[in-house]
Structure 1
Amino acid sequence: MNFTLRPMQEMDLVAAVAITVESFSSDGGALGQYAAPRVRERLLSGLRASEYAPRFIVALQDDGTVIGVAGWGKLEFASRTWGLFLSSVSRNHRGQGVGTALVRERLRRIEAESGQGRVLVSTRHRKRFERLGFRSVDYDAELSLHLMLKRLDAV
């Protein structure tokens, strides 16, 4: 499958919100946390320039249709620490490498900007992240979520 990745733009918001709400509602996500208005506000915050503002990228089919969205940002509570969040792929495009490509691109951008530090992610997709160099540091059995960590070396 051919797709491209680029920074999210305002014109991507409607599709990005729909994909995220769909992904997290079918994945057992808390309804309020991933309700459309809250997701939209979170995605909009990524369009504002600020050191700690989240950043988002989208995956696009050749025709420009948004098929995935993913975010990352500096964590204010820990120096040289980044978090990955809101990684969503449309139902029809799952299992085709889009999610892994979104993770790799976020890691590439973090490494280019910071060169060292650590990246945290909370996920049900432990094996995907282990393949990318993350290790599980905690597990929440009630939510079936792994807290995973990847250390970045100096570039």
Structure 2
Amino acid sequence: MAIDWGSVADWVGAVGGVGGAGTAATFYFLDRKRARIAEDEAKKKQATFETDVATHLYILLRGIIDASRSYLEHEITFGETIALRAELAAFARTATRMQGLPGLSIDRFMDLCDLLEAITDRRIEGKDAEAIREAVAHVRYVADPMQEKLAQELRLDS
């Protein structure tokens, strides 16, 4: 029984096939590793974005709460009402800009919608002082739980 070892061309082809398979496996492994690294980077970027949005929203809510608190805790003058309206309009513009952020989560978007609904209440633009006070109290009622939730999420001591 004679063993046929094949020709040199057969050996070169076999070694080339094994080498090609090894090269393909190496490229596949490296591509998967690159994809995992890219996915991890994307998750880190999204987490940073979410933290930044939460921080900005927290600061916005603190400003709204402070403005409503100072308005509700003492006798109100016409000038203070005008100043409050201007502050709330600025807060509304900021909230509207935040709503337009690409990649904003639906929960943050809905929080901003609720906040905008409260701070753009038409009673605030009216002349009835009691209706204005009620609307400002409602703004604070909406903003307080959101601010507390964000403080817990951001691990802040309130």
**TM-score, scaled to structure 2:** 0.24
Q: Which has the higher helix share?
A: 2
Higher RCO, 1 vs 2 (CA within 8 Å, ≥6 residues apart): 2
Q: Which has the higher strand share?
A: 1
Point out the structure with max Rg over C-alpha: 2
